[in-house]
Amino acid sequence: MRAVGVVVGAVLVCVAMLMPAGGAGAQGGPDPAKVGSFSQPFTEPTISDFAGYPRVRTDQQCIERPKQGSGATGAGTTHGFIDCKPAAGGLTMLPNGKNMYWDNLAGTENVELSIVSEYGVVGLNDQTRLLNTATKSWAEPTPVDGGAKSQAHIDPIIPGDLFKTTEDKNDGSMFCSDGNFLPDGRFMATGGTKYINDPGNDASKYGSTELLGIENTRIYDPKTNRWTQTGSMNRPRWYPTATTLGNGDEFVVSGLRRLVKAANTQDPIDPTAPATGGGVQEGQNERETETFDSDKGTWKLNGASARRSLPLFARMHLLPNGHVFYNAGGQAFNPLGQAYDEALWNLAAAYDPATKKWNELGIPGVGTSPVPGFRGSTFSVMMPLVPNSKGQYEHASFLTGGGVTNPGSPGGYVAIRDSFLTNLNTSNGTERMSTEDAGDMNPTSTPATGRWYGSGTLLPTGEVLATSGADRDEVAVPGTEIPVQTAEIYNPDTKQWKPVAHQNRPRTYHNTANLMPDARVLVGGHATISNSYLRNTTLPGGVTAPQGRDPSFEIYSPPYLSCPGAQANITSITGSNGSLQIQMDVPASQIKNVVLVRNPSVTHVVDADQRNVELRVISRSGNTIQVQQAGSGNVVPPGPYMLFVNRDVNGCIKPSHAAQVLAAAHGKIKPTTGCLARRSPIGRNHIGRVRLGRTRRRLLAEPRLARVSPLKKTAHIYRYCVKGTSKRVTAVFGSKTKVDLVTTTAPRHGNRGVRPGSSARRMARAFPRRKRIAKGLYRANPRSPRLIGVRRGRVRYFAVASKRTLKSKRLLRVYLRRAGL
């Protein structure tokens, strides 16, 4: 009878699988205005040079490298090794407009027999990448793996170094580190993984895999494209959560010292009971908390009162009162639980950095959710912080959706659909918690499917996009999970979820999603544990998730981009201490609200710093809207933000292109009146970063010009300031609305040692093939687009002009006049 049930069940699911894949997006010809759309996936075109192997351009995700000497990837490699493109298991949006991502579980494809026997040797440090989505181009930071090498003391299973592996190619992986932005816009990765076989030995790749937490903290500087090390933590941590505090310091909780072989497997209350009722990890996670001083670059333990048992990658958020909220969620290696004190994870709590004490708030979801309390592998999204009429922020709300739970223990196997809101009132300095229902996720799916490990992305409009994940906990039985590919959006007004478009690629474990400055969402990642903890083997038929890693990305365009009218552009942000004047290219009367979105940094569906802060509108005039600064680092912690204005066109809310801004102390946004660089080369089609052929919108959205707003904008020109001088660069638009002429009068802009201010004689020596085309106007050579203006024996300006402009002296004269020359 049971077998019949099994077969019928299998057939039913197969029928479901053969039906259209669910959601409006799968039913052929979905309306992007209603469900949005996913772009075609795109992937890095090359596999990087590594360990002496050359860079290879290929459409394949992986290639097989020939055996080289004793084996580049460790002892015992018998067939060379398989080298793959990194997948975005961690993803962050840098202030310079580029996305940085890092791989997860690199090297699993080289497991020949079992990941639990070999990964300590074949595992690799995960590589990092820079992705420019505008140009679909990639670059590599230096060093490419972040450069950490853990010196943490390890107590091996067998004392001494004889019976553990010691190779250094996987001693400081980015895998399982947490990422945050520092106040100056640099990016910090906290913790990570060191792989060894313990026991094992260097003569063999077989042993018993161990994943160790590391104490390293590394910092990436987007300006130099380099990783460097800063102070190490006092505790090694694998799966920690770091939260940026109101003063820009980092508060870190949880993490593990070692994952696989428990140092303490016995029941602490009844030592005679059978060992380890299920956990294979340590009996407890790291309970010590630490704080990183972002000025000094050092970590300090917070002491006994700040200790707390929390799940791995605990879901933490900074509250408007400066306390750090734990939202009863995290990673638990299900279904048997993990720590002896895991019952305490059901309690939401808030940590006060001033007193270094926790305030326990109760169990979220009681009374509103059928499965209250702890959630494993769920997302926890902080909903927009909205000011009251006085401009104060006294409420915070958190959306918990999907994940796994189980009545008997934290952690289950089958994904759940339930979502709920946890509301905190912080008006009198402490927190009062309440919860409310937020509806079922994936409400129309048949059969009803929950979402394990879904990414939750808060959009500028206050809606929440859920992407990726699976129908069950992959960690419990890897290889059997069925991907959830239908995205869905939560509407905070109706408190309901609605399925939207269908993702192109299945992305289950270690998927990521980030909001981009153009209000689209970059979706990537996927790195599985090897099937049944053996080796990467995808079950046939395309039903279960593909094993291995997916290096591709796809971009989701939400339905709001189909609202009528163009996306607004923010052309300048100026202001005084208390307020900001935001100038746009649309009437301020159309703006519904102004929102600061913290630059995202997500891994393991966690982004502790994620927040949208609505700024109170003071006034509207023409194309300028004046808003009040948040006035508190607890509301707007120091660091990079994207500033959006949401345009309301007949009730359809459309976010603008964001302006990249930086918050300083007390949440004060620095105005974006940046200038062009003091020194700039003059190329065939550009002066510095201002290029011929650009449209107005493109100039404003140009990531490299993100922090440079034109001083003057008219129908014909954009005029830019130049650092350290009162001289200007001017872009002149032609009749086709593109830049046809760029001029500069800045004294350090030039070629061949000739600059504005240089003598005409020097110019003549440097440009012997110059051609005079009008009085006081020369082309650098007869075919050059570069122009040099001379008056009274001195070079007055440089310019570059389009071919069309150069063909017509009249046009050129008009454009030069518009440029003020």
Partner 1 sequence: MRGRLAACALAATVAGLAVPTAARAHGESTPTIVTVIDRVSPHPRGLDVQIVRDKAARLEVTNRTGRDYEALSRTGDPFLRIGPRGVFANVNSITWYLSGNPDGVAEPPASAHIGARARWVRISRRSTWTWFDHRMHPGTVRVGQESIDGQRRARLDDWKVPGQLGGRRLDVSGHVEYRPLRGNVVTSFSGPAAPAPGVQVQLLPGRLPGLFLVNTGARPVTVWGRDGQPFARIGRRGVEVNLRSRTNVEDQVAKGRRRTLNVPDGPPVWKRVSSDGHYAWLDVRARYGRAAPPQSVTDGTSKRLLGRWQVPIEVGGRRIALRGKTSWVPLTTVAATAPKQVDRSGAIELGLGALGLAAALAGAFVLRRRAARPERAKQLVG
Instruction: For the segment 124-163, give every residue that binds partner 1 (CB under 8 A).
Output: 158-160, 163
Is residue 634 a contact partner of residue 319, using CB atoms and an 8 Å limit? yes
Stretch that binds partner 1, among 168-176, 251-259, 267-275, 310-318 (CB under 8 A): 267-275
Chain-centroid distance, C-alpha 84: 21
Amino acid at 20: P
Stretch that binds partner 1, among 79-87, 137-145, 527-535, 594-602 (CB under 8 A): 527-535
Stretch that binds partner 1, among 45-53, 403-411, 672-680, 751-759 (CB under 8 A): 403-411
* One residue of 28, 52, 69, 274 binding partner 1 per CB under 8 A: 274
Note whether 18 binds partner 1 by CB under 8 A: yes
Q: How buried is 678 (Cβ within 10 angstroms: 0-12 exposed, 13-18 middle, 19+ buried)?
A: middle
Is residue 189 a contact partner of residue 174, using CB atoms and an 8 Å limit? yes
Stretch that binds partner 1, among 183-191, 357-365, 580-588, 596-604 (CB under 8 A): 357-365
Note whether 265 binds partner 1 by CB under 8 A: yes
* One residue of 539, 665, 773, 774 binding partner 1 per CB under 8 A: 539
* One residue of 30, 32, 41, 76 binding partner 1 per CB under 8 A: 76
CB of 150 to partner 1, least distance (A): 22
Helices (H), 142-257: none
Kindly tell me which of 309 and 378 has the beta carbon lying closer to partner 1: 309
Query: Which of helix, strand or coil describes residue 295?
Result: coil
CB of 324 to partner 1, least distance (A): 17
Instruction: For the segment 574-603, give every residue that binds partner 1 (CB under 8 A).
Output: none
- Name beta bridge partners: 554: 523
Stretch that binds partner 1, among 169-177, 273-281, 310-318, 693-701 (CB under 8 A): 273-281
Note whether 359 binds partner 1 by CB under 8 A: yes
CA distance linking residue 377 with residue 469, whole number of Å: 10
Note whether 425 binds partner 1 by CB under 8 A: no
* One residue of 117, 133, 327, 743 binding partner 1 per CB under 8 A: 117
Kindly tell me which of 133 and 426 has the beta carbon lying closer to partner 1: 426
Note whether 403 binds partner 1 by CB under 8 A: no
Kindly tell me which of 283 and 747 has the beta carbon lying closer to partner 1: 283
DSSP 8-class letter at 815: H
Note whether 27 binds partner 1 by CB under 8 A: no
**Residue (of 297, 335, 622) closest to 474 by Cα position:** 335
How far is the CA of 129 from the CAs of 86, 261, 347, 417, in angstroms? 8, 32, 38, 34
CA distance linking residue 661 with residue 324, whole number of Å: 24
Note whether 273 binds partner 1 by CB under 8 A: yes
Is residue 519 a contact partner of residue 558, using CB atoms and an 8 Å limit? yes
Note whether 370 binds partner 1 by CB under 8 A: yes
CA distance linking residue 722 with residue 748, whole number of Å: 10
CB of 447 to partner 1, least distance (A): 5
Is residue 109 a contact partner of residue 62, using CB atoms and an 8 Å limit? yes
Query: Which of helix, strand or coil describes residue 748?
Result: coil
Note whether 542 binds partner 1 by CB under 8 A: yes
Note whether 2 binds partner 1 by CB under 8 A: yes
CB of 352 to partner 1, least distance (A): 11
CB of 316 to partner 1, least distance (A): 18
Note whether 346 binds partner 1 by CB under 8 A: yes
Stretch that binds partner 1, among 95-103, 136-144, 541-549, 756-764 (CB under 8 A): 541-549
Stretch that binds partner 1, among 142-150, 530-538, 752-760, 778-786 (CB under 8 A): 530-538
Kindly tell me which of 314 and 682 has the beta carbon lying closer to partner 1: 314
Six-digit token string for 715: 């129908």
Kindly tell me which of 211 and 573 has the beta carbon lying closer to partner 1: 211
CA distance linking residue 441 with residue 23, whole number of Å: 12
CB of 723 to partner 1, least distance (A): 54
The C-alpha angle 598, 599, 605, rounded to 5 degrees, equals 95
Kindly tell me which of 210 and 463 has the beta carbon lying closer to partner 1: 210
Instruction: For the segment 280-309, give every residue that binds partner 1 (CB under 8 A).
Output: 280, 283-284, 287, 307, 309
Q: Look up tokens 């800063």; give the residue.
A: 230
* One residue of 408, 651, 768, 782 binding partner 1 per CB under 8 A: 408
* One residue of 66, 69, 541, 782 binding partner 1 per CB under 8 A: 541
Stretch that binds partner 1, among 24-32, 46-54, 111-119, 376-384 (CB under 8 A): 111-119
Note whether 263 binds partner 1 by CB under 8 A: no
Kindly tell me which of 10 and 764 has the beta carbon lying closer to partner 1: 10
DSSP 8-class letter at 53: B
CA distance linking residue 247 with residue 354, whole number of Å: 12
How far is the CA of 468 from the CAs of 82, 178, 446, 531, in angstroms? 26, 20, 17, 19
Instruction: For the segment 747-786, give every residue that binds partner 1 (CB under 8 A).
Output: none
Note whether 537 binds partner 1 by CB under 8 A: yes
Query: Which of helix, strand or coil describes residue 202?
Result: coil
DSSP 8-class letter at 496: E
* One residue of 171, 250, 440, 609 binding partner 1 per CB under 8 A: 440
**Residue (of 121, 37, 75, 178) closest to 610 by Cα position:** 178
Six-digit token string for 498: 């609605």
Is residue 642 a contact partner of residue 658, using CB atoms and an 8 Å limit? yes
CB of 148 to partner 1, least distance (A): 27
Q: Look up tokens 């909205």; give the residue.
A: 386
Q: How buried is 783 (Cβ within 10 angstroms: 0-12 exposed, 13-18 middle, 19+ buried)?
A: exposed
- Name beta bridge partners: 731: 718, 742
Note whether 409 binds partner 1 by CB under 8 A: yes
Note whether 341 binds partner 1 by CB under 8 A: yes
- Name beta bridge partners: 603: 90, 606
CA distance linking residue 806 with residue 191, whole number of Å: 57
Q: How buried is 756 (Cβ within 10 angstroms: 0-12 exposed, 13-18 middle, 19+ buried)?
A: buried
- Residue 550: HSE in the Cβ half-sphere, 13 Å Cα cutoff: 23
CA distance linking residue 480 with residue 178, whole number of Å: 28
Note whether 648 binds partner 1 by CB under 8 A: no
Note whether 243 binds partner 1 by CB under 8 A: no
**Residue (of 753, 807, 757, 758) closest to 779 by Cα position:** 807
CB of 463 to partner 1, least distance (A): 22
Note whether 1 binds partner 1 by CB under 8 A: yes
Q: How buried is 766 (Cβ within 10 angstroms: 0-12 exposed, 13-18 middle, 19+ buried)?
A: middle
Six-digit token string for 621: 């005039």
Stretch that binds partner 1, among 9-17, 218-226, 229-237, 783-791 (CB under 8 A): 9-17
Note whether 418 binds partner 1 by CB under 8 A: yes
Kindly tell me which of 117 and 331 has the beta carbon lying closer to partner 1: 117
Stretch that binds partner 1, among 96-104, 217-225, 421-429, 475-483 (CB under 8 A): 475-483
CA distance linking residue 126 with residue 105, whole number of Å: 7
Task: Draw the binding track, 178-207, toward partner 1 (x: CB under 8 A; -: no contact).
Answer: -------------------x-xx--xx-xx
CB of 452 to partner 1, least distance (A): 10
Q: Look up tokens 């005084």; give the residue.
A: 576
Residues contacting partner 1: total by CB under 8 A? 105
CB of 345 to partner 1, least distance (A): 7
CB of 50 to partner 1, least distance (A): 25
CB of 328 to partner 1, least distance (A): 10
